[in-house]
């Protein structure tokens, strides 16, 4: 088991901005957590009182060795706002894992996705919802709302999530085709090209409309959109 000084070093490393050092500390902590009650108590305390990054790291270490519990939820939600994209995506995956064993997580994510202020948390909550509950009508509603939001990054997250939703109807295809044709954000139009092809595979009756929309996009003056549309067209053959 680690000495008292080693425990202190490991716990302090959870707060480091260097993601590699933080993960190495998490690995070391996870290796000793079950056999060291003092270390476990200290990690639980860090889960409550550390910095945002420190709370996430503590949650990540705990999830390595124990069944995910709701005590991890506040730290994981906070990590959705972390400036480091890898941390945000790790938090999404842990939230999905937690949501699969704790039913209380889904309503919390639905609330986070419907927040009033633009933030990474809303965007990452959409990503978590599409993995945790792609068939739930409430997830569909949140994605629809996000598609109409003023935050362009949130709209992109929502659009990229459409193809992962279960039991989509024709209205989704209509909306995505409209985004491909008229969305002013060029990144949205490129995402729409990929999603249109995926929806055409899910709904064969919409394939002619999808093909027509992609053919028009393939003639775009935007070379990146033209290439994306051409690649999507190839998937329809």
Q: Give 95-149 pLDDT, tens digit per residue.
A: 999 999 999 999 999 999 998 777 899 999 999 999 999 999 999 999 999 999 9
pLDDT for position 193: 97
Of the listed ranges 87-96, 162-171, 205-214, the least confidently predicted one is 162-171
List the domain range (segments joined by +) for residue 97. 67-157
Q: Rounded distance, CA 60 to CA 2, Å?
A: 19
How many other CB atoms are there within 10 angstroms of residue 188's CB atom? Answer: 20
pLDDT for position 136: 97
Give percent of the chain above pLDDT 70. Answer: 100
Do 119 and 54 share a structural domain?
no
Last-in-domain residue among 10, 33, 65: 65
Do 144 and 98 share a structural domain?
yes
CB contact set of 61 (below 8 Å; sequence gap of 6+): 14, 25, 26, 29, 30, 33, 43
Contact 213, 180 (CB under 8 A): yes
Do 126 and 60 share a structural domain?
no
Last-in-domain residue among 122, 157, 192: 157
Beta strands in the chain (DSSP E): none
pLDDT for position 119: 82
Q: Rounded distance, CA 214 to CA 192, Å?
A: 9
User: Would you place residue 20 in the very low, low, confident or very high pLDDT band (cuts 50, 70, 90)?
Assistant: confident
Q: Rounded distance, CA 211 to CA 207, Å?
A: 6
Q: Rounded distance, CA 54 to CA 70, Å?
A: 17
pLDDT for position 10: 85
More confident residue, 235 or 136: 136
Do 177 and 119 share a structural domain?
no
Render pLDDT for 166-204 as a digit per residue (tens, 0 to 9): 988 889 999 999 999 999 999 999 999 999 999 998 888
Contact 183, 189 (CB under 8 A): yes
Do 206 and 128 share a structural domain?
no
For all residues of the chain together, what is the average pLDDT?
Answer: 92
**CA triplet 225, 140, 162: central angle to 5 degrees?**
20
Do 192 and 235 share a structural domain?
yes
pTM: 0.91
Which letter, b or e, does each residue of 107-141 get, where b requires 16 or more Cβ atoms within 10 Å of its Cβ?
A: ebbbebbeeeeebbbbbbbbbbbbbbbbeeeebbe
Q: Rounded distance, CA 196 to CA 174, Å?
A: 9
More confident residue, 66 or 138: 138
pLDDT for position 123: 96
Instruction: List the one residue out of 80, 96, 88, 34 whose CA is nearest residue 61.
Output: 34
Residue 219 lies in a domain: yes
pLDDT for position 6: 82
User: Would you place residue 1 in the very low, low, confident or very high pLDDT band (cuts 50, 70, 90)?
Assistant: confident
Do 227 and 153 share a structural domain?
no
Q: Rounded distance, CA 56 to CA 89, Å?
A: 12
pLDDT of 17 > 90? The answer is no
pLDDT for position 102: 95
User: Would you place residue 55 in the very low, low, confident or very high pLDDT band (cuts 50, 70, 90)?
Assistant: very high
pLDDT for position 115: 80
Indicate which CATH number applies to the domain containing 61: 1.25.10
Number of domains present in the structure of the chain = 3
The mean pLDDT value for 41-67 works out to: 91
């Amino acid at each position: 088991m680690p000495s008292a000084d080693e425990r202190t070093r490991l716990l302090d490393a959870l707060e480091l901005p260097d993601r590699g050092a933080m993960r190495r500390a998490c690995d070391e902590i996870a290796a000793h957590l079950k056999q060291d009650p003092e270390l476990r108590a200290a990690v639980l305390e860090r889960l409550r009182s550390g910095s945002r990054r420190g709370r996430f790291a503590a949650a990540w270490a705990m999830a390595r060795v124990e069944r995910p519990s709701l005590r991890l939820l506040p730290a994981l939600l906070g990590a959705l706002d972390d400036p480091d994209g890898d941390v945000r995506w790790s938090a999404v995956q842990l939230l999905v894992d937690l949501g699969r064993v704790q039913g209380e997580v889904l309503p919390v994510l639905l609330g986070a996705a419907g927040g009033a202020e633009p933030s990474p948390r809303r965007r990452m909550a959409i990503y978590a919802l599409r993995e945790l509950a792609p068939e739930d009508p409430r997830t569909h509603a949140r994605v629809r709302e996000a598609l109409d939001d003023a935050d362009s990054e949130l709209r992109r997250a929502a659009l990229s999530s459409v193809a992962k939703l279960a039991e989509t109807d024709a209205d989704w295809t209509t909306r995505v085709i409209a985004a491909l044709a008229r969305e002013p954000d060029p990144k949205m139009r490129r995402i729409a090209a990929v999603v249109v092809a995926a929806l055409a595979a899910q709904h064969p009756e919409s394939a002619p409309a999808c093909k027509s929309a992609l053919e028009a996009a393939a003639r775009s003056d935007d070379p990146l959109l033209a290439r994306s549309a051409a690649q999507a067209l190839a998937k329809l053959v």
